Chains A and B, each alone.
Chain A
Amino acid sequence: MGVVGRIADALRGWTVWPMLWKEFIQLRRDRLTFAMMTGLPAAQLILFGYAIQLDVRNLPTVVLDESQSVESRALISTLANTDNFRIVASIHSRTEARAWIERGDARVALVIPPDYERRIRRGETGTAQLLIDAADPQSSSAALSGAQLAAQARGAALLQERLQLRPPVDIRVRPWYNPSQKSSTFIVPGIVGVLLTITMTLITSTAVVRERERGTLEQLIVTPIGRTSLILGKLIPFVLVGYIQMTVVLALGRLFFRVPVEGSLVLLYSLSLVFIIASLGIGMLISTIARTQGQAMQLSFFFLLPNILLSGYLFPRAAMPLPAQYLGTLLPLTYYLDILRGVLLKGIGIQYLWREFLTLSVFAAVLITISVRRFSKTLD
């Protein structure tokens, strides 16, 4: 009999209900798990939502303006307007600039030489210098692009002024789906996926291993309860836990980060089921490998790491080397992130997400089948 047939039998018969009843009582009494269900999502959301800023803004910048002219002040304000820089001080020497950067009080120093305005007025190129603390490539590239942007803007404005021309080319960028280009809009939907991954695998794996450690699994095995009922009884309550978590994160995300909900929540919740089941399957699989709760926890965290790095949660997968991209295709979270961002940010429907849905369904079916098979009703 197939897994689906066995599941139907367990639900139709009486065997799964006592298990469910027991699990819900235990869940209600287990304060730690309850805290994990609600507190953890909130803490993670606030932490990740505010702390993870992939877009580098407000780099502390000091300015050495030796030109002290209209043009130099225009350049400084153009630079400040890009939002990549935050002018923290005016300084008076290059030594001072070096000291600010070395202390870490400034990441960028703008040096405008005394002849800056003069050269522009003479029709030459006014040259300014930008010193960057490039130890962190992300902030240095933000500084670079900000500087280029400012130079171009300033240059174009001066050319227009000088030649009385309109710019021949103009690209108008319109950032769809996340118009204000905030990281949190991108990150918060991802947190739903990451949190579900961690709690689903962790709760499931430790819950099963705990029964083994305490000897209640041995007791259950000698009862007539079937393997499928036993596993279903353990998993179904956690599906509910998953949905509660998801709702908490989405509600808080909306409240604190104004994460949009463009698409259908019904669709999102329906598609989430296969992801939750796949994650529970992984937890189940871990529980058939781990002998102690400690081992189960370690394995769960071990599984979490590639999920955070390779799924596209923080870094776009397209930018990763090919092997990393292939590894990413093995993670359910990769597909779930597409679903989350697709529904929440783009408001797209099932016609664009059925591939992700099918892949996750295959993951769920395979993982549950393997873990039910491996979950032997004997102790040897």
Chain B
Amino acid sequence: MTRRAESGAVPYEWAVRTEKLRKTYGVLVAVESLDLQIKRGEVFGLLGPNGSGKTTTIRMLCGLVTPTSGHADVVGVDVVQSPEAVRRRIGYMSQRYGLYDDLTVEENLRFYSAVYGLVGRDREARLKAHMDTLGLVSRARQLAGGLSGGWKQRLALACATAHQPDLLFLDEPTAGVDPAARRLFWQTIYELAARGTTVLVTTHYMDEAERCQRLAFLSRGHLIAVGTPNDVVTQFGAASVEDVFVRLQEQDEAEKLAWG
């Protein structure tokens, strides 16, 4: 893609690198002093109970939310200083998918790719290929509002990746989607990663967490563990990632009770 070649000029080592990243809403601390490094091409999982700061972290990295303090480089660019430069090169799929129910599958895809500046001669061919890869061709003329959860998810992924982003953010992408669709979804994620796309995903499903190359656990805004799934399990002396997760959640509940 031409646009990518223009904007991706800055060489970078880390897809994401944050220093003391912090976000507060009044007295509530959503994310506290977060130091996070994600390598290029990595499939990185961000885990934690509800309200642990996962979504706020992703939103800060996308430039959707301004950090209270700290620093964040995304694809080698300071996201607070120049969010627009970052936006061209990232893809973002939110829990709510962000699709237009009254547009067809094809129209949604066409709209989002045009917004990313995907225009000109090779667009048609590329869109067709993209729809083909994600198996959306048969549904092209169907309104997005009438799709099932699995199809919506696939379309949202297509919209977030049509411009071939360097870094893809997935915020709980598989919530409410059946196992078959989830498996297909992960297959696509691996294919993207194989082509060099860095993927940052938040999830509640432990089997998905185990598919990530590295994991980070957040608890009440604090980063409490980073490493491969095996590392994290060993670090906590737990039996599985799920075990770690459940223990953290219980710890959180206890602290919440203690502090009110």
Residues of A within 8 A of B (CB): 14-15, 17-19, 21-22, 25-26, 29-30, 214-216, 218-226, 377-380
Contact = CB atoms under 8 A, between A and B. Distances in A.
A218 B115 contact: no
B84 interface: yes
- For chain B, which range describes its interface: under 10, 10 to 19, 20 to 34, or 35 or more residues? 20 to 34
A30 B83 CA distance: 34
B88 A224 contact: yes
Given A14-B117, A220-B115, A223-B115, A22 B100 contact: yes
Nearest to A219: B98
B246 interface: no
A15 B114 CA distance: 8
Contacts of B64: 218, 221-222, 378-379
Contact of B66 (A29, A30, A378): A378
15 contacts: A14-B117, A15-B115, A21-B111, A21-B114, A25-B107, A26-B100, A26-B103, A215-B97, A218-B64, A219-B97, A219-B98, A220-B98, A220-B115, A226-B84, A380-B65
A258 B52 CA distance: 67
B170 to A, nearest CB: 13
A126 B116 CA distance: 89
- Nearest first, the 6 closest Cβ-Cβ pairs linking A and B are A219-B98, A215-B96, A18-B114, A222-B92, A223-B115, A224-B87
B33 interface: no
B90 interface: yes
B243 interface: no
A377 B83 CA distance: 10
Contacts of B111: 18, 21-22
Given A22-B111, A25-B107, A224 B116 contact: yes
A30 B119 CA distance: 27
Nearest to B156: A219
Nearest to B90: A222
Given A223-B87, A379-B59, A380-B66, A216 B114 contact: no
Interface in B106-139: 107, 111-112, 114-117, 119
A33 B117 CA distance: 29
Given A26-B100, A214-B96, A18 B115 contact: yes
Nearest to A222: B92
A14 B119 contact: yes
Contacts of B87: 222-224
A207 to B, nearest CB: 12
A19 B110 CA distance: 11
B221 interface: no
B101 interface: yes
A379 B63 CA distance: 9
Interface string B58-78: 010011111000000000000
Contacts of A25: 102-103, 107
B161 to A, nearest CB: 13
Q: Choose among A19, A30, A379 the residue with the greatest number of B CB atoms under 10 Å from its CB.
A: A379
Contacts of A214: 96, 98, 101
Contact of B63 (A14, A26, A222): A222
A19 B119 CA distance: 14
Contacts of B117: 14, 224
Interface string B207-221: 000000000000000
Interface string B147-160: 00000000000010
Contacts of A223: 87, 112, 115-116
Contacts of B102: 25-26, 29-30
Contacts of B99: 216
B94 interface: yes
Given A18-B114, A220-B115, 6 more contacts: A29-B102, A215-B96, A224-B87, A224-B88, A378-B65, A378-B66
A222 to B, nearest CB: 4
Contacts of A29: 102
Nearest to B160: A219
Contacts of A216: 98-100
B46 to A, nearest CB: 17
A27 B102 CA distance: 10
Contacts of A21: 111, 114
Contacts of B88: 224
Contacts of B98: 214-216, 218-220
A14 B59 CA distance: 26
Nearest to A380: B65
A136 to B, nearest CB: 48
Nearest to A13: B117
A22 B103 CA distance: 8
A225 B98 CA distance: 15
Nearest to A22: B111
